[in-house]
Structure 1
C-alpha cells in the first residue's frame, strides 16, 4: 500500500517535531543539571581531589621506592641461606608433602601450624631437661638468642611475622629440641635423662619421621644459633659433626663414611680451606652440611664410569627435592647434587634400565617396582633450570655419549647382549664355532685328498 503526502504538510510536520525535541531537551537540562556557579564549585573540588590523589600516589610511589632501598641495604643477601621453596619447584613436583613438615616445625616458616602443635610440648620437655641438667637459667638462653636475633632473621627469606620475643622464644625452643636429638643420637638418650620408652627422644618410633622433617629446606635453623646454644659458637665443626651422625641413617648410600672422609668433611665445616670451606659464610644449616657429606667421592683415575651404590626408599624423593631446591636458590653453592640427579635421569628411561643398574649393584630400592624408580628420577628435575655445560659431570656426559655413538662400541655391546648374555647363549656360540671349524677342516681335507691322492 502506497501513501502520498503533500510536501508542504510534510515539511511543517518535521519542523514541529524538531521544535518539540528542542523544548523537551531544555526542560530536562533545567531539571537535571545544576547551575553554572555550582558547576564551577564542583569543578574546583574535582580538581583539588585529583591533585590530592595524584600527590598521594606520588607519595606512595616514593615510599615504596624508599622501602625498596632500605630493604636492599638492610637485607644482607650474602647471609640468606634458608629459603622458601619456589612455586615452580613445588608445583612441578606435584607433592607438597616433600617440602612441608608433617610432625615437627623447626624455624619460623611453619611455626604455630595447627597440625604441628602436638610436638610443642616435647620441645618444652627438652628445654626443661637442658635447664635441669646444666642448672642454667632460661634467661641465659633468651639473652644469647636476643644478641644474634637480627643475624638469625637475615638467614630467612622475606619478612618474618613473629615479634622479637616470639622469634627469640622460637630459637630457644627449637634449638634445644634439635640439640637434644643430636646429642641423644650420639651419646644415647638414656645418658641425657630420658626414659627408655620416650615417644620422641629414642632411636625408634617417630624418630625416622622427625629426621625427614628436619632435613627439609623450609624447616631449618642457622648453625650459628645451635653453636651459641651449645656454648661454643666458634666451633662450627662440633655442631656439624653432630649433624652428620644424626642424619647418617638418611644417607642415600650404604657405603659408610670412612674416618678419613669424616675428618676431612668435619675439618672443612669447621673453617679450614681444604674442602669447600664455610668460614666466609654465615647461617648455613643442617641440609647444607648433609649435602656436602654426599660430595665426598671424586673422579676415578682409571677412566671407568663408577657410580656409588644408591639406596632408594620412600624418603628419597623428598630428600633429593630439597637438596635440588637449595642448590637452585643458594647461588653460592655448587649444583653437584642437581648434576648427579640429572645424570641419573639421563641413564634411566625405563624399568629395564633400573633393572640393569640393580644387576650391576648400583641401585637398591625398597619401592614397589622398577617402574616407580624410573618415574622417580624422570620427575625429580622436571621444572629445574639447569645449564648442562655448567656441571662437573658435563665432560663425563660428553664422553659417555661419544662412547655410545662409536660404531665399534655399539657392535661389541650388541654382540655381548645377544650372544653372551647367559651361559646357554655362550655354549651355543662355542658349539657353533666348533662346528664351523670342523666343517672347514673336513672341507679342506676333502679338497686336499682330491688333488693330492695318497701314493
Structure 2
C-alpha cells in the first residue's frame, strides 16, 4: 500500500506503472507473434508496436481528467459549506430578536477576575446551569415546592404548563445563544424553577409556616443556607424572565394579569444583600427629599416598571431617582481619551490618603442612596457603605449587567470605579471606617482594599460617561490648588493636637519678644534719650 498526497506525483506513478505493463505486454506479444507467425507482413508488426504508446496516452488523459474532476468536486463542497454557513447566519438574523435579550452569559474577559462570583454554588435557576451534577441536589426541593403549590391551590399541573407554553418562544428570546432543551423540557424547567423562586419569595415575606412548611425544613426556613441561596439567585446567569414569574404568581392568586407584586417580593427577599443599611428618621427623609426637589420616592415596586428580571429590579431599587445619564449609543466616535480598557486610564480621583494630605475632609452623608456623593468647600460627603461576604458577587453581577445590556446605564460601574480610585491600601479603608463611611465584616482592612481593587480589573469604562465625572473634576481642581496643600500641611504638622498648638504659640510669642528686643536695642543706639 502506497500513500500519495501529491496529485502530480500520483499521476506520474500511475503513468509509470501503466507504461511498464504496456511495454511488458507488448514485448511478450511481439515475441509470441514472431515465433508463431513468421510469415505475416511487417505492417501488422508495426501496428502491434504502436499499441503501448496509445495506451500510455489514454492513461495520461484519464488521470488528468480524474484529477480535474477531484479538484472541481473539492471546490464545490467548499463553496457549498460556505453557502450553508451564510444561510444559517441569515436564518439567525431572521429568527432572533436581539431587542428582547436580557439574560446574558458572562463574557470571558469578565470571568478572568473571579469565575466563582458568577457561577451558582447551590441552586440553578434557568437553562444556563440546568442539570449540572453538583446542583442536582436542590432539584428534589424544587419538586417539593411545586407539590406544596399544587396542594395549597388545588390546581392541576397542566394549568401551569399550558400558561408557560404560551410564553415559551418569548422566554427563549430572553436568553443568549441556543438553548438545547426541547420544548417540553424548557417548559418543565420554567414551571419548576419559577414555583421554587416564588415559594422562597412568599416564604420570606409571609412566613414559611403559613405556606405549610415545617419549622425544621432544610431549605424553606430561615437558616444559614438561605444567604447562600440569595447570592445564587441574584446572579445574572441565574435569572428567570419577570413575566414568567408574574404569570405563575397570578395563577396562584387567581389574578393572571397582576404585575408588580413579584418585584416587591423580590426586593424583600434580597434585602439582606443591600449594600447600605443606613436608617433614616422621618425628618431626615423629608429633608433629603426636599433638598433633592421631590416629595416622594420614585421607585414603586407595585407599579409596572418594565423590569427584566430580579437582578434588574434590584438594580432599579438601588438607584431609585438616581443619576439619569443619556442613553448609550452602540457606535460612538472613537477617541483615545474616553473609551478605555486600561486600568491606569480609569483614574477619576486620587486616593483617600492623598486627598487628605491636600486638605480634603471626608464626612458621612445621611442618605440611604449609597451612590449619592457630594463635594462642597473641600468636604467630600459619601453615604455609608456596608461590605459583607456577598458584596463582591453582587457588584460583579451588577457591573456585568451594565456591560452587557445596552439599555442599562453605568451608574453602578461608575460608583465602583470611583471607590476603587479612593481605596488603594488598608490605610484608606481604615480612614473611611474612622469617618463612618465604610463598614465591613471581612476580617481586616486589607481584604476590603483588595476587593475594591479587583472589582473593575477587566471592565471597559468611559470616564467621560460617568455621573461622577463633574464631581471628580471639582475634587481634582481643589487638590491641584497649591494653597490648599500648604494649608493642609500646616494644619497637619502644627495644629493637629493641643500640645502642638501650644508649642507653636509659644514659639510665636518668643519670636515676637525677640523681635521687640532687637528693635528697641537698635532704636536706642541711634536715638539715645
- With normalisation by structure 1, the TM-score equals 0.84
Counterpart of 1:39 in structure 2 is: 60
Count of aligned positions? 415
Q: Distance in 1 between matches of 2:197 and 2:20?
A: 79
Asked if 1 retains the 8 angstrom alpha-carbon contact of 2:374 and 2:382, the reply is: no
Counterpart of 2:327 in structure 1 is: none
Deviation digits for residues 133-161 of structure 1 (CA, Å, limit 9, x no counterpart): 11111001001110000111100000001
Counterpart of 1:333 in structure 2 is: 408
Cα gap change, 1:269 to 1:416, in 2 (>3 Å): farther
**1:62 maps to 2:94:** no
Asked if 1 retains the 8 angstrom alpha-carbon contact of 2:194 and 2:244, the reply is: yes
Q: SS in structure 1 opposite 2:392?
A: helix
Cα gap change, 1:416 to 1:179, in 2 (>3 Å): farther
Segment drifting more, 363-372 vs 346-355: 363-372
Cα gap change, 1:329 to 1:413, in 2 (>3 Å): same
Deviation digits for residues 33-70 of structure 1 (CA, Å, limit 9, x no counterpart): 99432333333333333333323322222222122122
Deviation digits for residues 289-319 of structure 1 (CA, Å, limit 9, x no counterpart): 1112222334659675322211112222111
**1:159 maps to 2:178:** yes
Counterpart of 2:96 in structure 1 is: 75
**1:376 maps to 2:400:** no
Q: Distance in 2 between matches of 1:256 and 1:117?
A: 40
Q: Distance in 1 between matches of 2:427 and 2:86?
A: 57
Counterpart of 2:309 in structure 1 is: 285
Counterpart of 2:45 in structure 1 is: none
Q: SS in structure 2 opposite 1:307?
A: strand
Alignment of 1:2-401 (within 5 A): 30-31=19-20, 35-91=56-112, 93=113, 95-231=114-250, 232=255, 234-256=257-279, 264=297, 266-267=299-300, 270-271=303-304, 278-279=305-306, 284-296=308-320, 297=369, 298=372, 300=374, 304-401=379-476
Q: SS in structure 1 opposite 2:380?
A: coil
Q: Distance in 1 between matches of 2:309 and 2:507?
A: 68
Unaligned runs of 5+ in 2: 1-14, 23-54, 290-295, 321-368
Q: Distance in 2 between matches of 1:359 and 1:448?
A: 52
Counterpart of 1:12 in structure 2 is: none
Asked if 1 retains the 8 angstrom alpha-carbon contact of 2:264 and 2:301, the reply is: no
Counterpart of 2:351 in structure 1 is: none
Cα gap change, 1:388 to 1:234, in 2 (>3 Å): farther
Return the offset for 1:440.
Answer: 2.2
Greater Cα radius of gyration, structure 1 or 2: 2
Deviation digits for residues 195-223 of structure 1 (CA, Å, limit 9, x no counterpart): 11111111123100000000111111011
Return the offset for 1:270.
Answer: 2.6
| Cα RMSD, aligned residues only | 2.9
Return the offset for 1:335.
Answer: 0.5
Return the offset for 1:239.
Answer: 1.1
Return the offset for 1:266.
Answer: 4.3
Counterpart of 1:3 in structure 2 is: none
Cα gap change, 1:269 to 1:37, in 2 (>3 Å): farther
Q: Distance in 2 between matches of 1:30 and 1:63?
A: 44
Q: Distance in 1 between matches of 2:223 and 2:457?
A: 35
Counterpart of 2:33 in structure 1 is: none
Asked if 1 retains the 8 angstrom alpha-carbon contact of 2:18 and 2:59, the reply is: no
Q: SS in structure 2 opposite 1:344?
A: helix
Cα gap change, 1:268 to 1:103, in 2 (>3 Å): closer
Deviation digits for residues 251-309 of structure 1 (CA, Å, limit 9, x no counterpart): 11112589989x845427733xxxxxx44xxx711111111222233465967532221
Counterpart of 2:501 in structure 1 is: 429
Q: Distance in 1 between matches of 2:208 and 2:167?
A: 29
